[in-house]
Amino acid sequence: MKIVLIRHGKPVSADNPILSACQYAHWIRRYNASKVAQNSRPQSVNDDYKYFYTVSSDLKRAIHSTNIYLGKPPEEIDKLYREMEIPRYKFPFKLKAWNWVYFSRVLWMFGYKGPFESFTQAKKRADTAATKLIEMAKIQDQVVLFGHGYMNRYIRKALIQKGWVLNAKSNTYWGITSLEI
């Protein structure tokens, strides 16, 4: 059995302007609603993945990535595979968008709460996602998931804890992580 995790391509709205906390919240909404940028395409395509059972997060950038990579929509779309929350905190200063992401994620990982999924909840969701992918692999033998950076990372960790062997790992845009058992 084989499970492949592919991170989506670079989103249209992955720009890096200087933002206030309020502007950052709007940037996150744009990021979560965006498709893949025209200039973001995989460097190479493994045609074998066209024959795998295909699953995608329900966010546009993941579904669009599936269509770009495979030339077809996923067989299954599920919000379970959505990216872990990009936390939003109200601080009285401005940062570049990606600095907000990194700064907020560090606070979030240390348990700083907000009106969003906690880090603990997100890790549990990743474990649930890994279990669901394993169940699919038992039926389909080979599964490819088009997902997101942080979520794919924690799904990978959960699969390894469940006995899966890591063959390849990449968290970049269009990065491929491959595991087998």
pLDDT in tens, 156-170: 999 999 999 999 999
Q: What is the pLDDT of residues 28-67, one digit of tens each?
A: 999 999 999 999 999 999 999 999 999 999 999 999 999 9
Q: What is the signed CA dihedral for 105, 172, 95, 100, rounded to 10 degrees?
A: -20
Can you tell me whether residue 10 is helix, strand or coil? coil
For the residues of 84-127, what is the DSSP string, one character each?
PP------SS-EEHHHHHHHHHHHHHTT---SS--HHHHHHHHH
Question: What is the predicted pLDDT for the residue at 40?
Answer: 97
Residue 138: burial class (beta carbons within 10 Å; 0-12, 13-18, 19+): exposed
Q: Confirm if 157 and 126 have CB atoms less than 8 A apart.
A: yes
Q: What is the pLDDT of residues 134-152, one digit of tens each?
A: 999 999 999 999 999 999 9
Q: What is the mean pLDDT of residues 63-82?
A: 98
How far apart CA 78 and CA 147 sit, in angstroms, is 10
How far apart CA 90 and CA 12 sit, in angstroms, is 25
Tokens (6 digits) for 144: 């490819």
Question: What is the predicted pLDDT for the residue at 51?
Answer: 97
Q: Confirm if 177 and 152 have CB atoms less than 8 A apart.
A: yes
Read off the pLDDT band of 70 (50, 70, 90). very high
Q: What is the pLDDT of residues 83-142, one digit of tens each?
A: 998 999 999 999 999 999 999 999 999 999 999 999 999 999 999 999 999 999 999 999
Does CATH place domain 2-180 in 3.40.50.1240?
A: yes
Q: Whole-model pTM?
A: 0.95
Residue 127's closest CA among 147, 108, 154? 154
Q: Confirm if 143 and 6 have CB atoms less than 8 A apart.
A: no
